[in-house]
Structure 1
Amino acid sequence: MGNPEFTEEYDDEHRLPLLPPGARKESHADSFFASHIEHQLFNGPMMNTAAELFDAGPVSGAADALGRLKKIQRMHSHLEGLTATLLADTVEQIGEGFSDTLAELRSDSPEEAREAERSAGYYRVDPGDEQMINSNFIAEAAIALRETPQMVSKRMFYAKGLRYVCKDTLMALAAGEITLKAARFLVKSAQDLTPEQIEIMEHILLPAAKTASDDSIYQRARRFHDRMNPESAEERRRKSEASRKVSYWIDDDSGMGTIKLNHRADVIKSIASTLRWAADQVNDPDDERTSDQLMADLYADALINGWPGSEGTPLKPRLSITIPALDMLVDPTRALADLEGVGPIPAGLALQLAQDAPSFQRVLTDPWTGAVIDVERKKYKPTQGMKDLLRHRDVHCCFPGCRRSADRSEMDHIDDWAHGGKTDRDNMHLLCKQHQMFKHALGWKIQARPDGTRSWLTPHGLHVIVTPESVDVVESLDHVNDHCPQRPDPRSIPQVQLNSDIRRVLGYPVEPDPLADSA
């Protein structure tokens, strides 16, 4: 049946039997009495469990500790049920009240409303569209939950499924009777089923979900879905094939990464067989690589340099490595460099990569915070110099929670050029296309602060501070009083003599040694 932890995600709320926006009455309590009953249903059990944990006093032994762990698990379920309800209800209510919100903006700030409408026309988006409202709110909820928009988007899928489709499952979750994973497996398996089939699934599986393991519920839900799903096996295969893709991620703290190809089974087997055959042809007795290492190296070489005998790809990416020269001189064994788009890597690996680089670009960083404050300019065009500066200072899109790389982002004025904003490093930052649209057309506001950070205000009033990615030390930044960061007393900073070795590492001209000349 597959491992639920490694199953490819093809979840789509359009595969759930959802009523259209505006017809989802669950998110609009029809009376004061009903709203208070629902408040008690979702908050009462959580309050009782919290009180039990608080009143229990010190732990008296292993059995008592295990009992409290069960209550903590129940508390997690309470919270997740409430979270799902808040997500589904709020985005529905925003859509319902969008016309009133727009009318209020036109009345209170007509020029701002006209500019937002012009920007919406430029980006060819409708701010009142369900998808736009959904993605805009997900970005705000990601700030509130301190999660990525991708994680909150998955939460929203399950939230709508629980609130509007698997309603009994939501009540069992809010009551602390089932786990979050069990609830999500039921929502996932509800895709492509009719409301009647979903009702039968909950009737059969919810009693088991109160005691069985999560994996058991996953297998049972999958089996039920496959029996009840009216779609033919060929149609499911066609949809799966249409979702083929390549994805990748960077592994934490190792300087390594992973690339994943999702394709037809016969294609994957052919690629694996070809790599295995090519690895078996390596007969060099001095080559100490394992078979797995050989296959990995052959795969990488084929994609970057081409299969043996070919010329390779002309699309060689430009990578930037920032190596902290002073750290290297003080303690080379502990120094960390920064590989653009990856993050910290061992300085030894950085030097090895830099050794084969066709050119260097020196990056000047603030010695107290690590922030990039200037970039060596080898071209006269100021726009390229500014782009280089922002690329090294911001590293990625500066929208809260976005990690799109600098190469996938563009320079954007914080204070618009049309309103007197300058094209300088204090008023420029990187934004990807999507979040330029958020800023100009969907009501997000940004302000540059004296300490170099950026203050974002979401459409519904959340404040969030974004610090440039190159800043390592934030303790001296002042987000409250808008002061510039205070520098340490120079007398407390270790003094380093600017000798010829340091000058050479920093790229400065090496002055001749007068003693050597006299000799």
Structure 2
Amino acid sequence: MTTPAYLEDNDGEHRLPLRPPGTRTESHKTSPFAAQREHQMFFGPLKKIANELYDAGPVNGPGDALERLQKIQRLLSSVEAVICVLLADSVEQVSESFSDFIATENTHTAEEEAEARKSAAYYGVDRGSEQTINSNLIAEAAVALRESPRKVGKRMFHAKGLRHVCKTTLLALAAGEITAKAAHDIVKYSQDLGPGQVSLMEQTLLPLARTASDETVYQRARRLHDRLNPDSAENRQKDAMAARNVKVWNDEDGMATLQLHHRADVIHSIRNSIKQAAAQSTDPKDPRTQTQLEADALADVYLNGWPGMEGMPLKPRVSITIPAVEMLANPTRALADLEGHGPIPIGVALELAADAPSFQRVLTDPWTGAAIDVEPKKYRPSQGLRDFLRHRDQHCGFPGCRRPADRSEIDHIEAFGQGGHTTRRNTHLLCKQHQMFKHALGWKVFACPDGSKTWVSPHGLRSITIPESVANVANFDHVNDHCPQRTSDDAAHKVHLTPEVRRVLGLGQDEDLPDTGTG
């Protein structure tokens, strides 16, 4: 049985027998000859397999296709090995000079460096610490690989484990002899072991991993780890209990999943209580299945309390965007947007809106879908700007970050102290971590006329981010850096003034849209 997909692993570099930074000689070549030899060791198999696949020509039948699939699997293993080497070596090499690099290469004036040092003190971060350097390079690598920082963080864990701990496993991976999954499992179950025990694990598992399935390697690695791990079962249970949590996943079709990870007896007690609550529904006309009754019972308990008890004192708050024009034009196809989740059916949104204590109108661009203004009502200007950014950005604007708006803050793109204004163009949402990246670790961001943002990492990688509310990016022009150009002959961009649309826009039956000169 594999580890369930919903379980959050608690892998950590501190659990691997890693030597201190600066002493990991694998990442520091002693001579050009050693560097060239290692380059051939890791890139040679990759080049050889790629050339074989290219030179083979068109596929000649199923047998030939299957043989090529085997080669492609070896190629993927070699690519993964190279990625691990590049990640582990990069973070090791930059750790020796990161603070100096930020001070000398990535800022242009002494004032900027002084401001960065002040920001580092404000955020309580040591720019030269291993943790800071690790998280910063992970963010840069995420831009390069177009993956989330969370996924690259897991890659970094495996990279350091293979490069500095399970070296024989890395060589087997580079040669295409084992799969990336097998290599990762060997690293995973090398945690909490000593160097000698890791060596024994490699000797035991690598011969098997060259021919067996990934599932077989996983099971053997897990059992071997339990035998070698000197920690007691009681201590492992305490660590597992410390990792209890509640998590949410957004699913398709307007659904989501809530997970409670807790001690087994607690979970089974909750499960039995839910079954008992669902069994109280004896209405023969109730069309719900037993599974549906249990799901509804659990939801009712969290939102309204157990039957016969008062409801929750704190009512939940959600934000829903309902596109009025789309809803009137074609209510069967229109979709609303649930903050922190994404699209939901318009019917569900209208049911939720029926109980809403208040409404706030948001003006959106009919071509791109981006929020361009928020009705201020009685709010102070700062609150109006915050509401606007919540609707426009919807989450932290750092590349790859999805922390929701309620966990982010308004940040000035051009610093207020350097003449930046508190305007829609010069502000965006950033979470605390990525405010620290921008102000203390050398990341830069620039607002582009087309509404996008260009981020530049400390080592010069560029990444373009677009506000989450933007639905149509076909006419965005990042190369020439100007506003989106709209063609007047595009039928999809024309608004038909039906009586319903006129009513929403506040137009009389004989009144036309004003001419803005934009075509």
Task: Give RMSD over aligned pairs.
Answer: 1.9
Tell me if the contact between 1:409 and 1:431 (Cα under 8 Å) persists in the aligned partners. yes
Distance 1:512 1:355 in 2: 32
Alignment-derived partner of residue 428 in structure 2: 429
Alignment-derived partner of residue 134 in structure 1: 134
Does the residue aligned with 1:96 lie in a helix, a strand or coil? coil
Distance 1:490 1:361 in 2: 33
Distance 1:243 1:445 in 2: 35
Alignment-derived partner of residue 19 in structure 2: 19
Alignment-derived partner of residue 110 in structure 1: 110
Tell me if the contact between 2:369 and 2:471 (Cα under 8 Å) persists in the aligned partners. yes
Does the residue aligned with 2:17 lie in a helix, a strand or coil? coil
Tell me if the contact between 2:102 and 2:458 (Cα under 8 Å) persists in the aligned partners. no
TM-fit CA distance, 1:270:
0.5
Q: Give the letter for the 2:267 counterpart.
A: I
TM-fit CA distance, 1:490:
6.8
Alignment-derived partner of residue 319 in structure 1: 318
The aligned length equals: 510
Q: Cα–Cα, structure 1 residues 377 and 42, in superposed 2: closer, same or farther, change >3 Å? A: same
Q: Does 1:348 align with 2:347?
A: yes
Distance 2:165 2:327 in 1: 58
Q: Does 1:199 align with 2:206?
A: no
TM-fit CA distance, 1:509:
8.4
Alignment-derived partner of residue 43 in structure 1: 43
Q: Does 1:292 align with 2:291?
A: yes
Distance 1:385 1:22 in 2: 50
Alignment-derived partner of residue 378 in structure 2: 379
Does the residue aligned with 2:437 lie in a helix, a strand or coil? helix
Q: Does 1:250 align with 2:250?
A: yes
Does the residue aligned with 1:261 lie in a helix, a strand or coil? strand
Matches within 5 A, 1:162-311: 162-251=162-251, 253-311=252-310
Q: Give the letter for the 2:323 counterpart.
A: P
Tell me if the contact between 2:107 and 2:442 (Cα under 8 Å) persists in the aligned partners. no
Distance 2:206 2:404 in 1: 44
Q: Give the letter for the 2:468 counterpart.
A: E
TM-fit CA distance, 1:326:
2.1
TM-fit CA distance, 1:308:
2.2
Q: Cα–Cα, structure 1 residues 118 and 59, in superposed 2: closer, same or farther, change >3 Å? A: same
Distance 1:398 1:100 in 2: 27
Stretch moving more, 100-109 or 310-319? 100-109
TM-fit CA distance, 1:5:
4.5
TM-fit CA distance, 1:430:
0.7
The alignment-based identity, stated in percent, is 61
Does the residue aligned with 1:412 lie in a helix, a strand or coil? strand
| CA deviation map 1:37-60 (0-9, x unaligned) | 110010000000000000000111
Q: Cα–Cα, structure 1 residues 320 and 99, in superposed 2: closer, same or farther, change >3 Å? A: closer
| CA deviation map 1:39-98 (0-9, x unaligned) | 001000000000000000011100000000111111100000000111111001110222
Distance 2:386 2:423 in 1: 11
TM-fit CA distance, 1:480:
1.0
Distance 1:371 1:408 in 2: 21
| CA deviation map 1:208-255 (0-9, x unaligned) | 10000000000111111111111111111111111111111101x310
Q: Give the letter for the 1:433 counterpart.
A: K
Q: Cα–Cα, structure 1 residues 163 and 106, in superposed 2: closer, same or farther, change >3 Å? A: closer
Does the residue aligned with 1:19 lie in a helix, a strand or coil? coil
Tell me if the contact between 1:105 and 1:113 (Cα under 8 Å) persists in the aligned partners. no
Distance 2:208 2:430 in 1: 48
| CA deviation map 1:415-438 (0-9, x unaligned) | 111011111111111111111111
Does the residue aligned with 2:95 lie in a helix, a strand or coil? helix
Unaligned runs of 5+ in 1: 514-519
Q: Give the letter for the 2:342 counterpart.
A: G
Q: Cα–Cα, structure 1 residues 6 and 210, in superposed 2: closer, same or farther, change >3 Å? A: farther
TM-fit CA distance, 1:481:
1.2
Q: Give the letter for the 1:289 counterpart.
A: R
| CA deviation map 1:430-485 (0-9, x unaligned) | 11111111111111101111111111111110011110111111111110111111
Q: Does 1:454 align with 2:453?
A: yes
TM-fit CA distance, 1:105:
4.8
Alignment-derived partner of residue 439 in structure 1: 438
Tell me if the contact between 1:4 and 1:218 (Cα under 8 Å) persists in the aligned partners. no
TM-fit CA distance, 1:380:
3.8
Distance 1:312 1:399 in 2: 38
Distance 1:33 1:345 in 2: 59
Distance 2:298 2:26 in 1: 52
Alignment-derived partner of residue 514 in structure 2: none
Distance 1:224 1:451 in 2: 56
Distance 1:99 1:479 in 2: 31
TM-fit CA distance, 1:282:
1.1
Tell me if the contact between 2:99 and 2:127 (Cα under 8 Å) persists in the aligned partners. no
Q: Give the letter for the 2:478 counterpart.
A: H
| CA deviation map 1:142-201 (0-9, x unaligned) | 111111111001111111110011000000001100001100110011011111111111
| CA deviation map 1:310-349 (0-9, x unaligned) | 3333333332222222222322222111111111112222
Does the residue aligned with 1:475 lie in a helix, a strand or coil? coil
Alignment-derived partner of residue 330 in structure 2: 331
